[in-house]
Structure 1
């Protein structure tokens, strides 16, 4: 039985895009296949990056349904695999968080880190044994693979213990030590995946990039600039080619951790997204035809399908749309990581490890004004914003691309008691926030008043009512003190438990009246708007609403602007 709202949405999609708008809500004809072929070029490498949950929960899918299937006809691809640290349960119990806890134990002077390392050792050793009954190799080969794997895992864990013991003795966990500790997660994960692929009869080789940047190397001495990443991509490509040699069927399994970078280290400079960045740099170094990011969802949807039942899978999005969606709550791919491959003209595809036959969502490089792929727009001072020109630009679907929610928002309102120039007022506020490490997601301002949306994974405020609220974050408390008690002399108030709802789409600037429809849809459904902001890129319209209304807002906006908007 098809529910009326689903049937109306399907019929609306088919009317708009034709009968080829496929099953499962996928708009099939949005990607020009000629463009994909043009982007792909002659290289036959495909780099596949797997997240920790995929490696931990669906290793057989990866080995048999994805890697093996890609190597065999009709694909006949050369596959390179990049793995994050394994996670078989919740993210809190994943390998990376366990390693972080081990480092914190060292900082606290506790020997409990030894128990954590032993647990990781046992977990990774036992995890391979469950796959032997379905192996495609002889019992002798299984024993050989098992012995080698056990030796490698023990060597990595023994070295980790020595690093942590040294840090405990010195009573100092440096950024370099932290990087070495964090690298163990990717090493163990890649050793596991290499051995698993070998039990399936595949030629697979473990590639450890943690020593790729030699101590005497000049890489990064001038900072982590574009030249550094270009050189790093070339280096990674050479390391992988050297590891596989002439064996075109050999699958390199590459650690996401790539070693020494200038202080304060890899984790501090790049963050926990370094595995995605490594996959991107390997793609550039190998001149791959595609970078695939494998997750536990089919791709990018018009809204979160867990919250909006009628959300549709998008076959393609632009890099700018993907960047906005990532920033405003959808876990797509970090914009900096994406930029590395897009500038090289390599498409990024988001796919589902549980549904590998689905085409997923591809992020295609945009064309510049000369028609080149992956190019940038020519800078200009003036733009024509006449209504006639905007209407003329509207060649694509008359719908936004997606709507997304970013929770855990606190609104900071600052009102100046003094008459001051707007630029001086704003400069004082932002320098204060920067000094205390607070970043702003949205801003709405006038000459003497500014409202800012602050996001944090941890509670900035606590308490149940306006009179009972207290500031939990030391950084926020210090910033409020500076704004109210120093020469700025501002009135400050905080609004907790808010969320950002964002409408994203490259076509937004050519959709006359879309802002009005967006805001009126919220208003007509009794959802109050705290503040409004539109990005300079003109592909994003955002507003702040109460967090308790977030899911309802997501559904009413999707129904009115994606289902019935004509």
Structure 2
């Protein structure tokens, strides 16, 4: 394992990212996703073992996923929770049994020491028996509360970490299972969400849990306890990444490594664009934009916790551990404000034309990405309210129905909005026969109808250029839109201005992959 800085480099000093630096000691936190644990467990063990030669390692694991996320342990557990809501029907029994046999078979396939295997099987059986009791209790109460749902999904991370702990011990690397179910002692409800002090205190507590493992490798559940309001509701499915980030902060780690099944962050999706190139480094704001507009990088809030502590994040490939990956860290670490939201201070500029000509920015954007499953809502005002009232009413309705807008374009009487929805519309027998499946979207459309005429455009996608100082690249917007037009790709909406580092437009979903390739070819591959 390698890391980002060495013992003699000051933590606020920018270093070259082209080469990884070895640490003589100190913590490196490694986060592994469910697919990596499910398919490449032995690779993970090898990565950890190699890293122990130069660093102390703490690993955080998501719930196992052998094939697809849909069939992953967390989704199975959520289905079990929904089954428990059905009275007089134990539909969850088969789900729990499938999870149990899957984990036991995985252990039998890889563990060689019979004592370690027997202990592992006992642990799996105990976790599954506990899971059934939780589901039975929820069914008896005829309600799966936030607390109960959290306890149910926590079993996925527990089983995954018991699996990895057994593998490491089986290979002669002393490891210790660390269960974070009870690490949060705060029970009072929190109005307006969780505050910075909560995460600061939690990071310190996680650091103590890791220190208690002594010389053993801590294998830490990505689930971390009784979070006010419920873990899924308060944080969402990215809680494992956040846990790893807080462990890194709590241990004052030299680096947080997020291991995936790709080499790092690319200029485009390498599965769709053969000429996509690996980026050795990106800034946190660039990574945040790429995540929001379709690339699975790391959640911006998770990045914020780590970058504020001046800890670099490295994205690496579990199948290719020798590759240096991509480092996420500001160009100017000295500009990091421990209290302010994450952003690159150097991006803020005046409107002076002379300043723009003096800046020596990059010749090309950092990356191009696609966000699928977009629906465009066009609202034409009935002119019963003034312009500011029109916009206020629109956003009030969207807030009421828990809908967020990806892009917006507005005038005094017309607003176009691009919204992301996995199950927005279902095509009927003809082109005009669409049924809105999402209850929230249907409710919003009904309420918006009181403000004016509604026009819905389904099956769209957002193509976005991302890059620091993108606004300073004179003519980049023209080249971007011209490339799409020259390839007969129609643009439904355009957005530039809300972000200093993003230019986006909405196109038809069926053209998304072709747009990705033509933009990358013209603005990345052959742009001098």
* TM-score above 0.5: yes
Across the aligned residues of Structure 1 and Structure 2, the Cα RMSD in angstroms comes to 2.5
SS at match of 1:523: helix
8 Å CA contact 2:27, 2:252 repeated in 1: yes
Give, in angstroms, the shift of residue 152 of structure 1.
Answer: 1.6
Separation (CA, whole Å) in 1 of partners of 2:140 and 2:228: 25
Which residue, 58, 66, 70 being the options, matches 1:80?
A: 58
**Which digits, 9 at most, give the CA deviation of each residue in 1:488-520, with x for residues without a partner?**
2x0110001110000000031210111111111
**Which digits, 9 at most, give the CA deviation of each residue in 1:168-213, with x for residues without a partner?**
1111111110000000000000000000001110010000011112
Separation (CA, whole Å) in 2 of partners of 1:320 and 1:378: 7
Match of 2:197 in 1: 227
Is 1:251 paired with 2:217?
yes
Query: Which stretch shifts more, 161-170 or 401-410?
Result: 161-170
- Give the number of aligned pairs: 512
More helix by share: 1
Match of 1:104 in 2: 82
Match of 2:228 in 1: 262
8 Å CA contact 1:417, 1:491 repeated in 2: yes
- With over 3 angstroms needed to count, the CA separation of the structure-2 counterparts of 1:170 and 1:372, relative to structure 1, is closer
Match of 1:409 in 2: 374
Separation (CA, whole Å) in 2 of partners of 1:88 and 1:259: 25
How does 1:114-513 map onto structure 2 within 5 Å? Answer: 114-133=93-112, 142-214=113-185, 223-242=193-212, 244-245=213-214, 247=215, 250-263=216-229, 265-367=230-332, 371=335, 383-395=349-361, 397-418=362-383, 420-463=385-428, 465-484=430-449, 486=450, 488=451, 490-513=452-475
SS at match of 1:82: strand
Is 1:532 paired with 2:494?
yes
Separation (CA, whole Å) in 1 of partners of 2:259 and 2:127: 26
- With over 3 angstroms needed to count, the CA separation of the structure-2 counterparts of 1:70 and 1:219, relative to structure 1, is farther
SS at match of 1:541: strand
- With over 3 angstroms needed to count, the CA separation of the structure-2 counterparts of 1:201 and 1:179, relative to structure 1, is same
Give, in angstroms, the shift of residue 387 of structure 1.
Answer: 2.9
Give, in angstroms, the shift of residue 37 of structure 1.
Answer: 10
Separation (CA, whole Å) in 2 of partners of 1:111 and 1:290: 45
Is 1:60 paired with 2:42?
yes
Give, in angstroms, the shift of residue 394 of structure 1.
Answer: 2.2
Give, in angstroms, the shift of residue 379 of structure 1.
Answer: 9.0
Query: Which stretch shifts more, 224-233 or 530-539?
Result: 530-539
Give, in angstroms, the shift of residue 219 of structure 1.
Answer: 10
**Which digits, 9 at most, give the CA deviation of each residue in 1:310-343, with x for residues without a partner?**
0000000000000000000000001011110011
SS at match of 1:349: strand
8 Å CA contact 1:461, 1:496 repeated in 2: no
SS at match of 1:49: strand
Separation (CA, whole Å) in 1 of partners of 2:172 and 2:24: 28
Give, in angstroms, the shift of residue 229 of structure 1.
Answer: 0.5
Separation (CA, whole Å) in 2 of partners of 1:130 and 1:282: 31
8 Å CA contact 1:350, 1:361 repeated in 2: yes
Separation (CA, whole Å) in 2 of partners of 1:407 and 1:222: 30
Is 1:45 paired with 2:11?
no
Separation (CA, whole Å) in 1 of partners of 2:190 and 2:401: 28
Give, in angstroms, the shift of residue 346 of structure 1.
Answer: 0.5
- With over 3 angstroms needed to count, the CA separation of the structure-2 counterparts of 1:290 and 1:426, relative to structure 1, is same
Separation (CA, whole Å) in 1 of partners of 2:25 and 2:200: 18
Give, in angstroms, the shift of residue 41 of structure 1.
Answer: 9.3
Separation (CA, whole Å) in 2 of partners of 1:378 and 1:440: 23
Give, in angstroms, the shift of residue 469 of structure 1.
Answer: 2.1
8 Å CA contact 1:183, 1:257 repeated in 2: yes
Separation (CA, whole Å) in 2 of partners of 1:35 and 1:436: 44
Unmatched runs of 5 consecutive residues or more in structure 1: 1-30, 134-141
Separation (CA, whole Å) in 1 of partners of 2:268 and 2:349: 31
8 Å CA contact 1:420, 1:448 repeated in 2: no
8 Å CA contact 1:79, 1:252 repeated in 2: yes
The TM-score normalised by the length of structure 1 is: 0.86
Match of 1:5 in 2: none
8 Å CA contact 1:43, 1:289 repeated in 2: no
Give, in angstroms, the shift of residue 273 of structure 1.
Answer: 0.7
Unmatched runs of 5 consecutive residues or more in structure 2: 1-12
Report runs of 4+ in structure 1 exceeding 3 Å deviation.
31-43, 217-223, 370-380
Separation (CA, whole Å) in 1 of partners of 2:344 and 2:403: 33
SS at match of 1:287: coil
Separation (CA, whole Å) in 1 of partners of 2:126 and 2:287: 40
8 Å CA contact 1:103, 1:173 repeated in 2: yes
Match of 1:12 in 2: none
Separation (CA, whole Å) in 1 of partners of 2:425 and 2:131: 35
**Which digits, 9 at most, give the CA deviation of each residue in 1:76-110, with x for residues without a partner?**
11110000000111211111111111111111222
Separation (CA, whole Å) in 1 of partners of 2:55 and 2:44: 15
**Which digits, 9 at most, give the CA deviation of each residue in 1:47-104, with x for residues without a partner?**
000000000000011102x1111112xxx11110000000111211111111111111
8 Å CA contact 1:47, 1:82 repeated in 2: yes
